[in-house]
Structure 1
């Protein structure tokens, strides 16, 4: 008797969760875009963050998708997909690779804001509504040292010999 084949592993590496509470309109637009692309909201937000910090090689689901087929990122109560997304909870959970999480944590700390607010503002820019940002509009991000080589949680002090 032949054993059934196992499905491919869904393990996507060491990842961490960030909760964001952007404007409900932004949440609805993010949820709508994720649903239209058949991608989970948490993975969609994680991919947006990976692109934002410049670690494109960590983008999992959005890599290679044609985002031009999406409706314009504007609230439209006549669009059923938007109305459905608007009825969902007004938060976004992003699941990002650990490297992306570390960069976001470092940047948010440098700016003196929470990681959730940072992610919420990144999502506002992503959907084309920067006027709904709560914190990042105050900073010129080009002037900050926003390197992607933030220290990881697993790194420790060198051992004394």
Structure 2
């Protein structure tokens, strides 16, 4: 308990030097890895993001972790994220392994309660999403889809009745 507030200036100096270097390294690696690394997250992306934050904090605060090891961990995590997304774009079975499928939760005036229950979405969340998108009445909406990122997409009523964007949506009507 003797070093509760302050240990020594060497540790403070290390944090002041290593933290910006680790942060800058992570930003550079994220920029090099491409826009997909920073896009809206599915479950896999979230895990990688949390892991990167944990590594950054560890490198900044744990003097037993050298800067080079922290940067190596950044490279490994970002490399896995890059590899997995690269594979998911090229191999459909791999994509289905690491990402979920969008789910239809509202269809032509009806809440799809079984899908909503499975996805843990409430009626209030559907109404809230409609309001946030400027809809005063659900009759103006054909479909609402829970996307793989957790966002709810709204497809307004369509006069020509072609719905090409519903190709990969899990649809279980009633």
Shared fold per TM-score greater than 0.5: no
Q: Larger Cα Rg: Structure 1 or Structure 2? A: 2
**TM bucket, shorter chain:** under 0.3
> With structure 1 as the length reference, what TM-score do the two structures score?
0.22
Structure with greater proportional helix content: 2
Normalization by structure 2: what TM-score?
A: 0.21
